[in-house]
């Protein structure tokens, strides 16, 4: 029902408002829009007057909202707006990027929209509700504390989810931009762009809709499509609300992380109700799985990914600014990663846009539910079509994810055919909408229908970590241990049903990492990643994670995106195209290799994922333990060479601790003939061979 009528507070003048950029760059009608971000009246549903102001688009739990209300189940938003005079004769549409969780919207007392789903966009044509002068929009938002049957991702629930220990403060209410657009009654509803098979053309599918109740006829209607970069233009016929065309691209320039070139399609729809103009874009690229390998544009791709959960300290799941989205992508690239897995969250569309233009690959996936029921399965599946429609034009998105570790499936796919069917159905729904990208139906465990065989493995022992990875890669075992509690370890199988093949698919480790302190985490990053690079069968990895979030201190950066003390380890070296793989089973941080005499022999191999072979000589230098690599390395050690995607033959490096040293870090580098450093690694040597506090107990 509508709330009791009250005189709204006069709108305050503002020189600026948060998140002022155009919110929907993949379907751009920014020539005719107005932001409604900024200050709104706010009240909890407790009968009180409008006594607070909230800053949209920040969730009401966040400091940035100005409210900081926690576990508030229901609240109201209100503000006034004026329709620009230049929009006369157009339909006025109110857009919401995302509202968690259930929203009902009124304009001037007339209900115009109801939407359920905290991560998907919705809109309402409000033309019929408009009056003269100022207008009033009112939004009622319900955000249940019990989120277990809702798509809520990493937001905490009460009662708790089974995975509550890795969940965070909820972000309720309006958390993405709100804006107005003007368009004709007959208008473009979507533009689906995909690269043609030979990557020399763009296929376009346009959906045209007529606003219900308008008096204009839909015919004659003409759609002109122009490829902005070349000027090529075609006219397409609209039949039953759909127009299809192919735009050839002369001298095509393929999209890749090295050259993220974009092609923009300007669409102009002419009908009796006026002209509607929208711009969409895509890139010419192909992602495919062939046997156990991934290929991007016909070239072998090794995924070097990092988990990004999309949280910020004072703004929750809303980025504080557009620049913050860019910054996170830049930080991932600076750490050597070529892919970001945006975890259990349909992120702000501008994140995907910046990944497109910066050349960062993206693994995208919807928000998780927390328990298995018909309602939760329906809530999860309701995200799939909006996800593909909103972000499907993106060249950066190369993997679609769905369920994660059986969350929302009660951690029991192998034991329940109904849960197997839910995961398989989600895969089928997604692939019917977009067969052009590989999809993972249940990331990490118990696959039933997937294009990628991915697995999540955490282990605090470098020795058992390496043995488990080797056994999985060699095919000696198809399951692995997972710690579900302090004293509860289960073995998770890669296959959740007998029909799931365990060979012939690309194999990825899509979550790993270890250590409590930042020094320990840097140590595990270095040694665990090198063990993944040891195996040529592997198609890639995703490290957990880029930055800390609240109580979770697993990041390479802290929650504010500041650098941590990684004890001289540079993630860019660990994740480089060319890396060194040392035949060492490390003992503990600061004590990788024990040698009473100080004399060591290190067997070194080269892992290289470039397009051409590499080679050079191995050089060394000593620093104190945990020290950073010096700019120049000494000596002229053995030669090492590597072909793309084949681990090199071993080369031995002999070294001795400097006189008087009882421990030290031996830095190793592969240096080309021109002096360029192609790869770096290090090993900490200690002459105290007896175990000390902190040594790995598994060795």
pLDDT (average), residues 687-697: 62
The whole-number pLDDT of residue 695 equals: 46
Closest to 157 (Cα-Cα) out of 343, 309, 370: 370
Contact between residue 243 and residue 206 where contact means Cβ atoms under 8 Å apart: yes
pLDDT band, very low/low/confident/very high, at 47 (cuts 50, 70, 90): low
CA dist., res. 26 & res. 4, Å (int): 39
The whole-number pLDDT of residue 411 equals: 86
**pLDDT value at 3 more than 50:** no
More confident residue, 1 or 197: 197
Taken in order of first residue, the domains within the chain and their CATH numbers are 30-181 (2.60.120.260), 186-272 (2.60.40), 287-575 (3.20.20.80), 580-686 (2.60.40)
Residue pLDDT, tens place only, 240-255: 999 999 999 999 999 9
- What is the C-alpha R_g of the chain? 27
Contact between residue 342 and residue 396 where contact means Cβ atoms under 8 Å apart: no
The whole-number pLDDT of residue 212 equals: 67
pLDDT (average), residues 74-100: 97
The whole-number pLDDT of residue 691 equals: 63
Tokens of 454: 């991915």
pLDDT band, very low/low/confident/very high, at 692 (cuts 50, 70, 90): low
pLDDT band, very low/low/confident/very high, at 283 (cuts 50, 70, 90): very high
Give the three-class secondary structure for 591: strand
Residue pLDDT, tens place only, 311-323: 999 999 999 999 9
Contact between residue 161 and residue 154 where contact means Cβ atoms under 8 Å apart: no
CA dist., res. 611 & res. 628, Å (int): 29
**pLDDT value at 193 more than 50:** yes
Contacts of 173 (CB under 8 A, 6+ apart): 54, 59, 60, 65, 75, 77, 99, 100, 141, 143
The whole-number pLDDT of residue 697 equals: 39
The whole-number pLDDT of residue 367 equals: 98
Give the mean pLDDT of the chain: 94
pLDDT (average), residues 594-602: 96
Strands 593-594 and 677-686: parallel
The whole-number pLDDT of residue 632 equals: 78
**pLDDT value at 15 more than 70:** no
The whole-number pLDDT of residue 696 equals: 47
CA dist., res. 208 & res. 190, Å (int): 7
pLDDT band, very low/low/confident/very high, at 219 (cuts 50, 70, 90): low
The whole-number pLDDT of residue 5 equals: 38
More confident residue, 2 or 608: 608
* Strands (DSSP E) found in 529-598: 538-543, 578-582, 593-594
The whole-number pLDDT of residue 49 equals: 86
CA dist., res. 526 & res. 350, Å (int): 32
pLDDT (average), residues 544-550: 98
pLDDT band, very low/low/confident/very high, at 634 (cuts 50, 70, 90): confident
Q: Say which residue the tokens 């072909």 belong to.
A: 643
The whole-number pLDDT of residue 484 equals: 80
Q: What HEC string does 283-347 produce?
A: CCCCEEEECCEEEECCEEECEEEEEECCCECCCECCCCCHHHHHHHHHHHHHCCCCEEEECCECC
pLDDT (average), residues 436-458: 97
CA dist., res. 64 & res. 50, Å (int): 19
Give the three-class secondary structure for 210: strand
**pLDDT value at 74 more than 60:** yes
> Of 256-265, 583-592, 633-642, which gets the smallest average pLDDT?
633-642
- Reported residue count of the chain is 699
pLDDT band, very low/low/confident/very high, at 208 (cuts 50, 70, 90): very high
Contacts of 197 (CB under 8 A, 6+ apart): none
The whole-number pLDDT of residue 488 equals: 85
pLDDT (average), residues 203-214: 86
CA dist., res. 397 & res. 541, Å (int): 16
Residue pLDDT, tens place only, 513-525: 999 999 999 999 9
Residue pLDDT, tens place only, 636-669: 899 999 999 999 999 999 999 999 999 999 999 9
Q: What percent of the chain has pLDDT over 90?
A: 90
Residue pLDDT, tens place only, 133-150: 999 999 999 999 999 999
Taking CA atoms, 439 is separated from 249, 361, 493, in Å, by: 28, 14, 19
CA dist., res. 169 & res. 372, Å (int): 23
**pLDDT value at 629 more than 90:** no
The torsion angles phi and psi of 170, rounded to 5 degrees, stand at: -60, 160
**pLDDT value at 618 more than 70:** yes
pLDDT band, very low/low/confident/very high, at 269 (cuts 50, 70, 90): very high
């Amino acid at each position: 029902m509508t709330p009791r009528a009250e005189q709204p507070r006069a709108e305050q003048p503002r020189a600026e408002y948060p998140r002022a950029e155009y919110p929907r760059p993949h379907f751009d009608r920014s020539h005719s829009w107005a932001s409604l971000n900024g200050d709104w009246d706010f009240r909890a549903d407790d009968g009180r007057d409008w006594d607070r102001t909230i800053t949209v688009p920040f969730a009401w739990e966040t400091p940035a909202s100005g409210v900081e209300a926690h576990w508030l189940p229901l609240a109201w938003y209100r503000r006034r707006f004026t329709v620009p005079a230049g929009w006369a004769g157009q339909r006025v549409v109110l857009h919401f990027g995302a509202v968690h969780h259930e929203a009902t919207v009124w304009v001037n007392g007339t209900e115009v929209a109801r939407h359920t789903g905290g991560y998907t966009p919705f809109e309402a044509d409000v033309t019929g509700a408009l009056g003269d002068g100022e207008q009033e929009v009112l939004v009622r938002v319900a955000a249940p504390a019990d989120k277990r049957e809702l798509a809520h991702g990493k937001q905490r629930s009460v009662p708790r989810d089974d995975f509550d220990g890795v969940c965070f403060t909820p972000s309720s209410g309006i958390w993405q931009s709100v804006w107005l657009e003007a368009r004709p009654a007959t208008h473009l509803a979507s533009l689906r762009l995909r690269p043609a098979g030979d990557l020399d053309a763009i296929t376009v599918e346009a959906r045209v809709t007529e606003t219900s109740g308008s008096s204009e006829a839909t015919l004659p209607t003409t759609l002109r499509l122009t490829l902005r970069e070349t000027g090529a233009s075609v006219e397409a016929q609209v039949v039953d609300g759909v127009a299809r065309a192919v735009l050839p691209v002369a001298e095509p320039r393929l999209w890749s992380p090295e050259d993220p070139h974009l092609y923009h399609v300007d669409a102009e729809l002419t009908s009796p109700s006026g002209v509607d103009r929208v711009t969409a874009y895509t890139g010419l690229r192909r992602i495919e799985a062939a046997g156990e390998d991934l290929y991007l544009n016909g070239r072998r791709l090794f995924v070097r990914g990092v988990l990004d959960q999309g949280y910020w300290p004072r703004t929750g799941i809303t980025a504080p600014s557009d620049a913050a989205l860019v910054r996170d992508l830049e930080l991932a690239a600076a750490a050597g990663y070529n892919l970001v897995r945006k975890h259990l969250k349909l992120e702000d569309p501008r994140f995907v846009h910046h990944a497109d233009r910066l050349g960062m690959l993206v693994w995208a996936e919807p928000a998780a539910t927390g328990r298995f029921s018909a309602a939760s399965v329906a809530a999860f599946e309701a995200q799939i079509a909006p996800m593909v429609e909103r972000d499907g034009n993106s060249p950066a998105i190369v993997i679609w994810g769905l369920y994660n570790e059986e969350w929302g499936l009660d951690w029991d796919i192998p034991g329940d055919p109904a849960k197997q069917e839910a995961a398989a159905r989600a895969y089928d729904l997604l692939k019917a909408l977009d067969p052009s990208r590989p999809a993972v139906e249940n990331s990490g465990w118990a696959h039933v229908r997937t294009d990628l065989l991915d697995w999540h493995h955490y282990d605090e022992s470098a020795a058992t970590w390496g043995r488990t990875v080797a056994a999985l890669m060699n095919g000696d075992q198809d399951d692995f241990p997972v710690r579900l509690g302090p004293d509860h370890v289960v073995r998770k199988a890669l296959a959740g049903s007998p029909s799931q093949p365990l060979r012939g698919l690309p194999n990825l480790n899509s979550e790993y990492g270890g250590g409590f302190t930042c020094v320990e985490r840097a140590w595990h990053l270095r040694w665990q990643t090198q063990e993944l690079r040891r195996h040529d069968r592997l198609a890639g990895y995703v490290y957990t994670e880029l930055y800390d979030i609240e109580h979770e201190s697993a990041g390479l950066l802290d929650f504010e995106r500041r650098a941590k003390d990684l004890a001289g380890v540079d993630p860019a070296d660990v994740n480089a195209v060319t890396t060194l793989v040392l035949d060492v089973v490390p003992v503990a941080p600061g004590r990788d290799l024990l040698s009473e005499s100080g004399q060591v022999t290190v067997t070194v191999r080269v892992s290289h994922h470039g397009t051409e072979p590499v080679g050079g000589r191995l050089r060394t230098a000593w620093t104190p333990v945990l020290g950073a690599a010096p700019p120049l390395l000494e000596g002229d050690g053995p030669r090492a060479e590597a072909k793309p995607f084949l681990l090199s033959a071993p080369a031995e490096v002999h070294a001795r601790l400097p006189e008087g040293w009882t421990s030290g870090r031996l830095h190793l580098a592969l240096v080309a003939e021109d002096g360029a450093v192609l790869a770096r690694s290090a090993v900490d040597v200690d002459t105290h061979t007896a175990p000390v506090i902190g040594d790995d107990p598994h060795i």
